Amino acid sequence: MSSWTKWQDHPRMVTSPYVDWWLMQQMLQPGPRPMAMLPALSRMDEFQTLRDSAGSLAALGTNPAAYEPNTGTEWSVFPVPETSANPSFPAALGDGAGWLPDTGVYPTLDEDTLVVGVIDVDIALGHKRFRNADGSSRVFASWQQGAPWGGPSHLPFGAELRKAQIDALLQTHSQGDLTRPLDQDGFNRAARLVDYDRPDSLRALAKREAHGTHVMGLVAGADPSAQADFSDRVKLLVVNLPPASAYGEGGAFLDYYLVYAMRWIVETHTRMAHASGLTKSPPLLLNISFGKQAGAKDERQVFVKEAKRLAEADKILGQAKFNAILPAGNDNLSRVHGRFGLQPGEDEMLDWRISPNDDTSNFVEIWVEKVLNPGTTKSPIQLDVVPPGGTPMTFRPAKSGQITELQDGLGRIYCDAVAPEDGKSVRFRFLVCLAPDQFHKGSKTGAPAGKWRIRLKNADSIAHFVRATVQTDQATLPGQRQARPSYFEDTSYEIFEDTGRVADTFAYVSGAPSGPLLDNGKRLQRRGTLNSYAANRFVATIGGHRETDGRPAPYSASGIGQALHRNGRGTPTVTFPSDDGAAHFGILSDGASDGSTVALRGTSFSCACATRWLVENWLAGRYDPEGASPDMLTFLKQGPLQVPRPDSWWNAPVGREKVGAGRVAWQPERPVRRL
């Protein structure tokens, strides 16, 4: 394999490096392109406006090489499956009609109703625990983002079902009587929750367990007869996200789908309140049990930027407060995060292990932490990436907007000075993209597996800290492609404690005065592995612990301990249970089939427990999501004091980087318990 080319200016087809890389890879593959390109929504206070015209969008869809580089905000377009895309959406936006009509048949709600928005994947709308005592649905509306486009016309992609349509489908598949057993397979297919026509469609609801159903069972599942007060007062707005093929191997396009999902829930909720004749929107909570590894972790990231806008939207548009709860992430032990300092003239090296037989692209984001003056174009850090068996090259300066490439499109590195929305600063980011180790079709040779070396040099006159993170990696065609995640290697990183137990960020020693720090790697660290969507002050960030003894879940991500950037987050907010015990991993909730119960583990479910705790406290009159004092974050931080600590817990301290304000020993009651 040859070395990298010289850094050169590049007229990118789109400003996002991920989208640009995706387009390049698609053009290298034989056969028709599998995605169309659609615009992302603009900012809240420009609701009717898009940054790209319908004409430029059409040009991108037919001839990407002809698309002119954007000069505005990053992430203006993203790929959507052609079968899901609304072909008339760009024209409708060009007519100024907006994407959600102000008039129409919106479900109505009472002022003493709490609406929970659940954004996830594979959510079973027909379960009895998501229905009222009369059999009707508690879901006001649901957007299946990955379904074949089926209207209404304002949707950019997918299909929407409102309560009346959901109830009609429930009745059809219950032999005309909502109290009779439901033909779940027929309902799921009719509601476009399960699709057998496409290889990349969602099918988890035809299996034993489903992530989103498990989450929603914890968040809002209830026996409509035994828990009538809960089911009568707690209603749902649901977004079923598309399959992984839609948001890419690195999860790069997930930002867009989440932005659409959040905006749809917030705007639909507001319009429902108006249709109900309410002068004030009832409270709204959003559970988003999703995330990814790499990202800016500040307002330079698409999701964080939109969360900031929505957090301010109640003041702008008079809608409900933006109360979003997200998981800390499960990457604490994945060896995906490195952070170290470089003195002037100093260089350092990270070993990046690419696994063999990998059908997916691999990505590493490298961020220079120091905020620089706007207009800075030359990166203070110089970069060299050495393939397995390759020879290091001389460090060369790079400027914002430049790229360097490997032959045959097997690798590309992007250099960008990324500004926040106010444009008052920049931070430099390198995105290293490698083609798959093996291609699923054809005889093309991929980027070889093995140890790649990432070399960094400080070419500035001042010291800099650098953060490197391996991006999320997932297969895009289940059963046809396999993802083998890459990771960093560092001889100073200790994987196990002396006892043989997997090493967490801190040792958990009963009776110790403090939690001994185990995160002593020179380059590779567990601290800083927080979900990049959740590492900001606009959302609550929930980690996981074990219910039996209070031990933090080793996989639950750790914060860096301090907010590195404006509106950043240095620790989780609190933790909730993510495991019942050492012998009983995970926690119980609804399975894919109505009436079934399964155990799943992860901070996604800690997050769901936190949301349910807020709901229960609202029902009991102890917490108001619309109140100013205490706000959601403050109330969650008070949780460890409000919920008594079990006597069975070890008397072992833990670092705040793992648990934030503490551990809340609470999870929803279930008809079946394992302990």
pLDDT band at residue 103, thresholds of 50, 70 and 90? low
Residue 263 has pLDDT above 50, yes or no: yes
Which pLDDT does position 416 carry in this prediction? 95
Pick the more confident residue, 358 or 125. Answer: 125
DSSP β-ladder status, 587-590 and 234-240: unpaired
596-617: buried (b, 16+ CB within 10 Å) or exposed (e) per residue? ebbbbbbbbbbbbbbbbbbbbb
Q: Cα separation of 400 and 8, whole Å?
A: 10
pLDDT band at residue 481, thresholds of 50, 70 and 90? low
Single-letter amino acid code for the residue at 388: P
C-alpha neighbours within 13 Å on the C-beta side of residue 650: 18
Calculate mean pLDDT across residues 215-237: 96
Calculate mean pLDDT across residues 306-312: 87
* Nearest one of 122, 95, 5 to 600, comparing CA atoms: 122
Per-residue pLDDT reduced to its tens digit, 520-574: 889 999 999 999 999 999 999 999 999 999 999 999 999 999 888 888 999 999 9
CB-CB contact of 487 with 353 (8 Å): yes
Per-residue pLDDT reduced to its tens digit, 249-262: 778 789 989 999 99
Which pLDDT does position 60 carry in this prediction? 43
Calculate mean pLDDT across residues 44-59: 42
Residue 72 has pLDDT above 70, yes or no: no
Which pLDDT does position 162 carry in this prediction? 94
Residue 447 has pLDDT above 70, yes or no: yes
Residue 81's alpha-carbon distances to 21, 34, 125, 253, 534, in angstroms, are 17, 7, 23, 12, 27
Which pLDDT does position 559 carry in this prediction? 96
Q: Cα separation of 543 and 534, whole Å?
A: 11
Which pLDDT does position 69 carry in this prediction? 36
Calculate mean pLDDT across residues 410-417: 95
Lowest mean pLDDT segment, chosen from 150-154, 359-363, 633-637: 150-154
Calculate mean pLDDT across residues 201-225: 93
- Is residue 668 reached through a cis peptide bond, with omega within 30 degrees of 0 on the bond before it? no
Q: Cα separation of 287 and 573, whole Å?
A: 15
* 327 token code pair: 């998981």
How much of the chain, in percent, has pLDDT values that exceed 90? 64
Cβ count near 302 (within 10 Å): 24
The residues that bridge with 120 in the sheet, in sequence order, are 240
- What are the boundaries of each domain within the chain? 8-14+337-473, 34-94, 114-324
Q: Where do the H-state alpha helices sit in 194-339?
A: 211-220, 228-233, 244-247, 254-275, 302-317
Q: Which helix (H) or strand (E) holds 464?
A: strand 464-470
Lowest mean pLDDT segment, chosen from 113-127, 255-269, 474-488: 474-488
Calculate mean pLDDT across residues 506-533: 92
CB-CB contact of 145 with 81 (8 Å): no
Calculate mean pLDDT across residues 283-297: 95
Q: Cα separation of 166 and 115, whole Å?
A: 17
Pick the more confident residue, 473 or 354. Answer: 354
pLDDT band at residue 30, thresholds of 50, 70 and 90? low
Which pLDDT does position 4 carry in this prediction? 92
* 488 token code pair: 């960093």
Residue 285 has pLDDT above 90, yes or no: yes
Calculate mean pLDDT across residues 614-637: 96
Which pLDDT does position 40 carry in this prediction? 67
pLDDT band at residue 82, thresholds of 50, 70 and 90? confident
Pick the more confident residue, 412 or 443. Answer: 412
* 557 token code pair: 């991500």
Place of tokens 């690419």: 354
**Class of 8-14+337-473 in CATH:** mainly beta
Cβ count near 81 (within 10 Å): 23
Calculate mean pLDDT across residues 198-227: 91
Q: How far is CA 645 from the centre of its chain?
A: 31
Residue 177's alpha-carbon distances to 165, 185, 186, 594, in angstroms, are 15, 17, 15, 17
Which pLDDT does position 34 carry in this prediction? 56
Identify the sign of the CA torsion 496, 501, 504, 507: negative
Q: Which helix (H) or strand (E) holds 38?
A: strand 35-39
Lowest mean pLDDT segment, chosen from 118-132, 433-447, 535-549: 433-447
**Residue 389: which residues within 8 A CB-CB, separation 6 or more?**
450
Mean pLDDT of the chain: 87
